[in-house]
Amino acid sequence: MFLNLSVKDVPGLTDREKVLLHDLREVYESHDAKNHEKNRYYEGRVSLGEVNLGIALPVQMRGLEIGCAWGAKTVDVLAARSMFDGFVGENGEDVDAINRIVDANDLITEYDKAKRDELKLGCTFATFAADDDIGCRIRFHSPMTAAGLWNGEKGRIEAGFAIVDVEHLHHHDHPVQPRVINFYTDTDIIVLTRLDSKRRWQTERHPHHMGRPLIEPMVYNATSAKPFGRSRIKEPVRRLIQGYVRTIANATIGLEFATSPQKYLLGVTDDQYDALINQKFKQYVGSIIASTTNPETGEKPSFGQLPQGNISPHVEMIRVLATQFSAATGLTVTDTGVVNDANPTSSDAILAQSQTLVGMAEQLNTSNGHALRTIALMALAVSQEKSLDELTDEETSIIAHFKNPAMPSVAVTADAAIKIASARPGFASTDTFLEMIGFDQASIRRIKAQELRERGLAVLEEMGDLE
């Protein structure tokens, strides 16, 4: 998206805010092209023009796109193992205020969307806005519509913006431009609204009490050099995808020659030759090709076929690429859809091959759990018009809960839970026991509420009997 924003045309901003907005624009524009490229690889739209080495593929095929799901697999397989299940208190108790915000914003479903943007592009941004109906509205924005400036000393975002509305133009070069941009600072949400096509803007300030911008990143695989994380579809992975696309194209072309080998017929007359050439398809599918001795030379026609082509080298190359892709992404070779002699034959072998991916999912859950906790606390503070420091100990004692990324079967987890409960009788009455046998947090709350209701009814009946 082309960000047609000139900071000098935005009224009502301080000099500091103009500098921040200018820096945000530069950050956004510097990453925009790469983000679109990563998104294109995720969608599987890779043209032969960018992978053709000029060795085997005809020039005429450069515009052809070969579908490849490896980019999506890189993101989706890991994302599927990060299953956010709501918040619980450090003591195991539910925090009602947090759960109400989670339910009102459908945060579990929104997390499922946001984590894919995070893995695809390196990060995603959560923004907050006070709402009279639900207290605080949480929205996630991908780096294709948002940007942030990192403050290493504070360990958080210094400022950020999110494009919340766009308009479609008839310009061929820049068909889309922002119409409404939310600009986040330590003290305000500044809503920038484009008035017309002449780059005139209107500002509207919404002060807050947070003491930090109401925008929070959720980052994958961050480093000190890249605080906003790194994409799963990084350049080495894209190179492997290019190799796969190129090999598939070569194999497809080779298959045509392998299944239709060249044939030859020698010693025919000119009339016989013309008849064969003029009716190639008929001769190809016909069951009999007849010819007589050449009366001029007395030569008997001879029919033959050139050796059939072999696509085995292409198949082996695909297997090599799949193995390298597996090593680069933590996916199994089976996840790539390539049959390999090393494919596991048992459930234990499959679990063993998935350990790398499970470890990645555990790291993802740890970092995202910290980010989700911050998001929940900021949302709670916004709903109460407080800062984070003003929240109570009970409100801050929350933990983001995730399901087991190893994804064990219900039978396995239930058996383990029952064995633990037999050794520790009190364990059967805990939430952890219910989690182990497969219940999510919503179901656990319903089960406990029903148990509490049943105990209450039992007490009332007992009191009635006593009377």
223-253 pLDDT, tens digit each: 989 999 999 999 999 999 999 988 888 787 7
Based on the fold, state whether residues 387 and 418 are members of the same structural domain: no
pLDDT at residue 7 greater than cutoff 60: no
Q: How far is CA 133 from CA 139, 159, 377, 466, in A?
A: 15, 27, 18, 47
Indicate if 372 and 463 belong to the same structural domain: no
- Out of 283, 305, 327, pick the residue that ends a domain: 305
State the average pLDDT over residues 331-348.
71
Predicted local distance difference test score (pLDDT) of residue 53: 60
Burial class for 163, CB neighbours closer than 10 Å (0-12, 13-18, 19+): buried
Cβ burial 251-278 (10 Å sphere, 16+ → b, else e)? bebbeeeeeeeeeeeeebbeebeeeeee
Rounded Cα–Cα distance for residues 175 and 253 (Å): 37
Check residue 182 and give its pLDDT.
96
Domain ranges, residue 449: 408-467
Domain C-terminal end among 360, 378, 407? 407
Q: How confident is the model at residue 260 (pLDDT cuts 50, 70, 90)?
A: low
> Residues 368, 293: one domain?
no
Dump pLDDT digits (tens) for 208-226: 989 999 999 999 999 989 9
Are residue 362 and residue 291 in the same domain, yes or no? no
Question: According to the model, what pLDDT value does residue 146 have?
Answer: 95
Counting the structural domains of the chain, the total is: 3
Structure tokens at 36: 């679109």
For the segment 371-420, what is each residue's pLDDT rounded down to a tens digit? 999 999 999 999 999 999 999 888 888 999 898 888 766 566 666 666 67
Which one of 407, 422, 439 terminates a domain? 407
Which is higher by pLDDT, 201 or 304?
Answer: 201
Same domain, 301 and 315: no
Q: Please give the DSSP secondary-structure letter assigned to residue 269.
A: -
Same domain (yes/no): 275, 340: no
466 pLDDT tier (thresholds 50, 70, 90): low
The pLDDT of residue 465 is above 70:
no
Same domain, yes or no, for 254 and 378?
A: yes
Same domain, yes or no: 78 and 210:
yes
Both 320 and 442 in one domain: the answer is: no
Do 66 and 128 share a domain, yes or no? yes
**Measured distance CA(374)–CA(382) in Å, rounded:** 12
**297, 307 Cβ separation under 8 angstroms:** no
Same domain, yes or no: 283 and 359: no
If asked whether residues 333 and 454 sit together in one domain, one would say no
pLDDT digits (tens, 9 = 90+) for 119-148: 999 999 999 999 998 999 999 999 999 999
Three-state SS letters, 310-365 = CCHHHHHHHHHHHHHHHHHHCCCHHHHCCCCCCCCCCHHHHHHHCHHHHHHHHHHH
